[in-house]
Amino acid sequence: MSGTAARPEPWIRIERFSLSRGGRPVLQDLNAALSGRAVGLVGANGAGKSTLIGALLGVLRGSGSIRVLDLEVPRRAREVRTRAGVMAEQAGVFPGGSGVDAVAFAGTLSGLPRREALRRAHRALDALDVGEERYRPSKGYSAGMRQRCKLAMSLVHDPEFLILDEPTVGLDPPGRTQLLRLIRDLRDEGRRILISTHILPDAEFLCDEVLLLDAGTVSYCGPVSDLVGRRSNRLVATGSGFDAAFARRLGEAGVRVVHAETGSVVFEEGLASELAAFWKTAAEAGVEVRALARDVSTFEDAVLTAMDGGGDDRS
């Protein structure tokens, strides 16, 4: 019996999906199967993240297939939106009232009776540790309080999953940390979350799976652990005498060189024979090997490598 746990069924499936706006292609032939508790939709501004969110909710239409919670979009988009809690990047808190008024209003828009919406508004604000501030006019809120209020608005109708579009943009470091911890708590309680962000530390903190978009195409789709672990089979050698000529000699000896520069070379560990070939070539070339260590990738390194085309699309 295998000790490896089976991955859960994907709750988002995207197959050969393309979408154009104003005659310009924005998303091109996307394929993804996402099953993580918290999925990071990661990419630079303009990569197509918000457009994809619109497509997942059935607001924007393209060609290809999208299923959310095994519901076909856009045919069953209304049901998907009913089961979703959405925190949009640009949406503001309902003006002219208090924070609790804004959250209760969001509840009524979801179909809740006014009394029940108010009760749930207080419950959502309690969960996000919003105290007496809820009774103050929302127009005077700090950026952090506005974001908490917007998150409560997305939670008030107790959705099955959350879509959070750039939730920490504009927050100072303490406010950003607080909000990320609140979102992490929601994840740990069992809520499925899709978080769209261009801030890599946010995705690293929250997500167990990522979909990397680069100019409307998929650079990587899969677990964070697989993305970061890709370089675990690479070795970094440093020393004197390492140069382009030495790298060429390694390649001729069957060593798969990934990167070389003056003073260092990165190569695939592969079979034991390749490591032996490295040492043999180093001895023949008369270079001095000062250190040999495994190449450890950070999350940011891994993302940038995938964006540069150094990774395969696992969708």
CATH code where residue 250 lies:
3.30.70.100
- Look at 175 and 2; give whichever has higher pLDDT: 175
Report pLDDT digits (tens) over 274-290. Answer: 889 999 999 999 999 99
What is the edge-to-edge ordering of all strands in the sheet holding 63-68?
A: 24-34, 12-21, 63-68, 71-73
172: containing domain: 12-221
How far, in Å, CA of 260 to CA of 89, rounded? 42
Statement to judge: residues 213 and 251 lie in one domain: no
Structural domains in the chain (count): 2
In this predicted structure, the answer to whether residue 137 has a pLDDT above a threshold of 50 is yes
Bin 262: left if φ > 0, else alpha if -120 < ψ < 50, else beta: beta
Q: Is the pTM of this model over 0.85?
A: no
How does DSSP assign 262-298, residue by residue?
Answer: TTEEEEE--SHHHHHHHHHHHHHHT-EEEEEEE-PPP
Note the pLDDT tens digit of each residue in 68-85: 999 999 999 999 999 999
Q: Are residues 245 and 121 in the same domain?
A: no
